[in-house]
Structure 1
Amino acid sequence: MQPLRIGVIGAGAMGSAHVRTITNDVPAARVTAVFDPDPERAGRAADPVRARAFADAGELIGHPDVDAVVIASPDVTHAGLARACIAAGRPVLCEKPLAVTASDAYSVVEAELSAGKRLLQVGFMRRYDPGFVDLRRTVTDGRIGDVRLVHAVHRNATNATSTDDAGLVTGSMVHELDLIPWLVGSQLTAIRVESPVREGFRDPQLATLWTGNGVMASVEVFVNAGYGYDVRCECVGTLGTVALATASPVSSRIAGVEGRAVRSDFVAHFAEAYRIELGRWAGSVLATDVTGPSAWDGYVAQVAAEAGVASLRSGAIEAVEPGLRPPLYGHGPDGGPGHGRSSTA
C-alpha cells in the first residue's frame, strides 16, 4: 500500500512537530507538502523531509500529491481551512480548537453534513495519551465506583497564543472542556469561570463544571505559571480515586536540592499522545473510516467555551446547550443524540 501523502498547513512549533512525528513515527504516511505564510519557515519544515513548500494553502489542499491535510495554523484560520478541505473531499486532522466561536465550529459540522460523511478529526490528543487512556479505563471499568468529582490542572510556563481572557478559555481550557465529558461519559450541562485577577489579563482562571450524570469538576488553567508545563487530573469516586502519575520518572539531588524535572512545553509532554494520534488518524484515513474526535465534538467543546467566557464576564453559572447530535456522529455515552463523545483510544 502506498503511504498516505499529507500536506501540513502551518509550520510553527506545532506544525513542524507534526512534520517530524509523521516522518519519524508514522510509517503509513509521509509529508509531501507544507504551507506557511512565512516562506522561509515553510522551507525549514519542508526541506529536511523532501516535501514541497507551497505559497498558498488552497493550492496545497487541492494538489494531486496531497491525500489528506493537517491544519496547525493559528486558531482563527481553522474553520475556514477545515471547510475548504471538506469541500475538496480531503480528510483533515485539525488542531484544536476547531474554531474560535461556536457558530464557526458549527459551520464545519454543516459542511460535513452536506458532504454526507465524516472527513474531519479534531486534535484533542489527550484522548490518545496513555496516562489519560488508563485513567478513563479505570473510571469506565467501575473500579472507583460512581465518579463524583474531577480535579484538573493545566499550567504553562508561558503562552504566546492564549493572551486574553476569552482566548484562555477557547484556546487552552478547551482541552479540559472536551476531556472531562470523555472521561466521565456525560455531556457538560453548565459552567462557571472565575479568576482572582480583577484587571488586565485574567490569568489564572478556575472553572467549575457540571455534567448530565451528576459529576462536578474543578479546572484550573494558568498559562503563565512560570515554572513549566504541568497537567494533572484526578477522578474521585465512591470506592476510591484515580489520578495521573508524575510525568517525569527521574528524581535528582543537585546542589542540595532534591526534585523532579518539570517539562517546559506541551509538545514534549504529550509526544507519545501525538505519535499515537497521528498514527491512528493516518490508519483511519487509509481505511476510509475516520473515527477520532469529530467536528461535532469540536463544536460542543466550543459551545462550552463560549459559555465559560460569558460566565467569566457575568459571574453567573451559564448553561451549556449544544443541541442534538446529528445522526452522522452516532450516539453519545448517555444513550441518545447530543450527549457525549465518539469513541477513540
Structure 2
Amino acid sequence: MGDLLGVAVLGAGHMGADHIRRLDRVVGGARVAAVADPDTARAEAALAGVSGASVHTDPESALDAPGVEAVLIASPGPAHEEALLAAFARGLPVLCEKPMVPDSAGALRVVEVEARLGRRLAQIGFMRRYDAEYLRLKELLDGGTLGRPLMLHCVHRNVSSPPGFTSAMLVNSSVSHEIDAARWLLGQELTAVTVLRPASSAVAPEGLVDPQFVLFETDRGVLVDVEVFVNCGFGYQVRCEAVCEGGSARVGDGHTMVVTSAGGAREEVAQDYLVRFADAYDREVRAWVDATRRGRVTGPSAWDGYAASVVAEAGVRALESGRRTDVRLAPRPDLYAPLSR
C-alpha cells in the first residue's frame, strides 16, 4: 500500500459524511479515494474541500475505483450484505457500520462467506468498544477487583425519533449497541430476551411503543436491563452500570460540560450520538486504518455482527409476543475467537 490508505466510503448521509470528514481531517494514514451514494449532490457536498476522490452512484464502481484499498460502509443497513460480499470478492478489508446486516439470515451468509475465505476482512462498527469510559469499565471487569458481575443496568435515550422509526427499531437499531456492549463487557452470550411495554410517552409518534424496557439473560446468569426511550425530548444519553459481587461501577454520567452563568449552573446534554461518541468514532476509525495498513483486521468481527442480529430479532419477537424469547445462534466458525474476559 502507499503512504495513505485509499478508502471507498459507501453512503454519504449523516454517518457517511461524518466519516468522510474524519478520514480527511482527523485520522492520519488514510485518504478518501471514492464515495458512492445514489444522490450524487449529497456525495459531492460531503466531499467539499476533499481532493482526489471520485463520486459514484453504484457501490461496486466505487470499490473498483483507482486507489481503493479498503472500504467503509455507511449506507443504510439493507444495502450492507451486498456491499460486504462485493468487498470480500475483491479481498478488500472493510469497516461496516452497524447493523452488519439487519436480518440474521443475511448476517449468517456474510459470516459463512468470510469463513470460507479463511481470513477476516470485516470489522463491524460497534464504536462503544472504543469509548474511553467503556474501555475503563471493561478493564475493571476483566481485572476482577469487583468480583463476579451480576447485573448490567443500561440507559439509551434520544431526543426524538426520525420519521419512519418503528417500535421494532427501538430494539434492532437502538438497543443493538447495548447488545454488543453487554456481550463484550461480560464476555458472555445473551441467551434470552424479554421486552416490557410501559405506557408510551404522550410525545411519541402515534403507534410507536416508546419507551421500552428490555431484559436480557446471559449464558452465565447475568441479567442485563435496558431502558430505551427515543423521544425523551431533552438529549442523547447513554449510561451503563455494572453491579458485581464486590461493588459497582457506572459510566456515562460525566460526559458533559457544566456551564455557570447568570446566577445559576446547568449541565449540557449531547443532542446526538455523533457528539456523545465523537472520540470513540475517531478511535475506532484510527484503529481500523492502522490495523489495515499493517495487513491486520481487529475489533468487532462479522460473528459479533451476526450475534447482534440474532439477539435483536429475538428481541423484536419478544416485543410482539410479550413473552420471554430464547436466542439461538448457529455454530461459531473456527475463524472467530470465542468471547472471553
More divergent stretch after superposition (111-120 vs 306-315): 111-120
Q: CA shift at 1:40, angstroms? A: 0.6
Alignment map for 1:143-162 (pairs within 5 Å) = 143-160=145-162
Partner of 2:13: 12
- Per-residue CA distance 1:64-83 (angstroms, 9 max, x = gap): 32101111111111122111
Q: CA shift at 1:248, angstroms? A: 3.9
Letter in 2 for 1:212: D
Partner of 2:180: 178
Partner of 1:136: 138
Residue from 302, 305, 327 that aligns with 2:312 = 305
Residue from 203, 217, 236 that aligns with 1:229 = 236
- Per-residue CA distance 1:35-84 (angstroms, 9 max, x = gap): 11111110011231112212221100122321011111111111221111
In 1: Cα distance, 2:287 partner to 2:33 partner: 19
Is the Cα–Cα contact under 8 Å of residues 139 and 147 in structure 1 kept in the other structure?
yes
Letter in 1 for 2:15: M
Residue from 100, 111, 114 that aligns with 1:112 = 114
Partner of 1:67: 69
Partner of 1:211: 218
For structure 1, the 5+ residue unaligned runs are: 335-345
Partner of 1:266: 273
More divergent stretch after superposition (172-181 vs 56-65): 56-65
In 1: Cα distance, 2:254 partner to 2:89 partner: 41
Alignment map for 1:82-121 (pairs within 5 Å) = 82-121=84-123
Q: CA shift at 1:167, angstroms? A: 1.8
Is the Cα–Cα contact under 8 Å of residues 191 and 217 in structure 2 kept in the other structure?
yes
Alignment map for 1:186-201 (pairs within 5 Å) = 186-197=188-199, 200-201=207-208
Return closer, same or farther for 1:244/1:211 CA change in 2, 3 Å cut-off: same
In 2: Cα distance, 1:125 partner to 1:88 partner: 25
Is the Cα–Cα contact under 8 Å of residues 162 and 171 in structure 1 kept in the other structure?
no
More divergent stretch after superposition (154-163 vs 302-311): 154-163
- Per-residue CA distance 1:81-107 (angstroms, 9 max, x = gap): 111111121111110001111001111
Is the Cα–Cα contact under 8 Å of residues 255 and 276 in structure 2 kept in the other structure?
no
SS class of match (1:48): coil
More divergent stretch after superposition (60-69 vs 126-135): 60-69
Partner of 1:340: none
Is the Cα–Cα contact under 8 Å of residues 184 and 339 in structure 2 kept in the other structure?
no
SS class of match (1:47): coil
SS class of match (2:34): strand
Is the Cα–Cα contact under 8 Å of residues 158 and 229 in structure 2 kept in the other structure?
yes
In 2: Cα distance, 1:177 partner to 1:125 partner: 13
SS class of match (2:48): helix
TM-score of the superposed pair, with normalisation by structure 1: 0.93
For structure 2, the 5+ residue unaligned runs are: 201-205
In 2: Cα distance, 1:162 partner to 1:196 partner: 21
Q: CA shift at 1:212, angstroms? A: 1.1
Partner of 2:26: 25
Letter in 2 for 1:196: P
Is the Cα–Cα contact under 8 Å of residues 122 and 292 in structure 1 kept in the other structure?
yes
Is the Cα–Cα contact under 8 Å of residues 9 and 35 in structure 1 kept in the other structure?
yes
Is the Cα–Cα contact under 8 Å of residues 240 and 252 in structure 2 kept in the other structure?
no
Letter in 2 for 1:88: R
In 2: Cα distance, 1:71 partner to 1:247 partner: 31
In 1: Cα distance, 2:79 partner to 2:161 partner: 19
1:317 correspondence with 2:324: yes
Is the Cα–Cα contact under 8 Å of residues 192 and 326 in structure 2 kept in the other structure?
yes
More divergent stretch after superposition (109-118 vs 178-187): 109-118
In 2: Cα distance, 1:209 partner to 1:245 partner: 20
In 1: Cα distance, 2:208 partner to 2:161 partner: 12
Return closer, same or farther for 1:212/1:115 CA change in 2, 3 Å cut-off: same
SS class of match (2:32): strand
In 2: Cα distance, 1:283 partner to 1:176 partner: 26
In 2: Cα distance, 1:245 partner to 1:311 partner: 28
More divergent stretch after superposition (190-199 vs 283-292): 190-199
In 2: Cα distance, 1:62 partner to 1:225 partner: 44
Q: CA shift at 1:137, angstroms? A: 0.7
In 1: Cα distance, 2:58 partner to 2:121 partner: 22
Partner of 1:337: none
In 1: Cα distance, 2:66 partner to 2:245 partner: 55
Q: CA shift at 1:161, angstroms? A: 7.0
SS class of match (1:219): strand
Q: CA shift at 1:254, angstroms? A: 4.1
In 1: Cα distance, 2:93 partner to 2:149 partner: 36
Is the Cα–Cα contact under 8 Å of residues 216 and 225 in structure 2 kept in the other structure?
yes
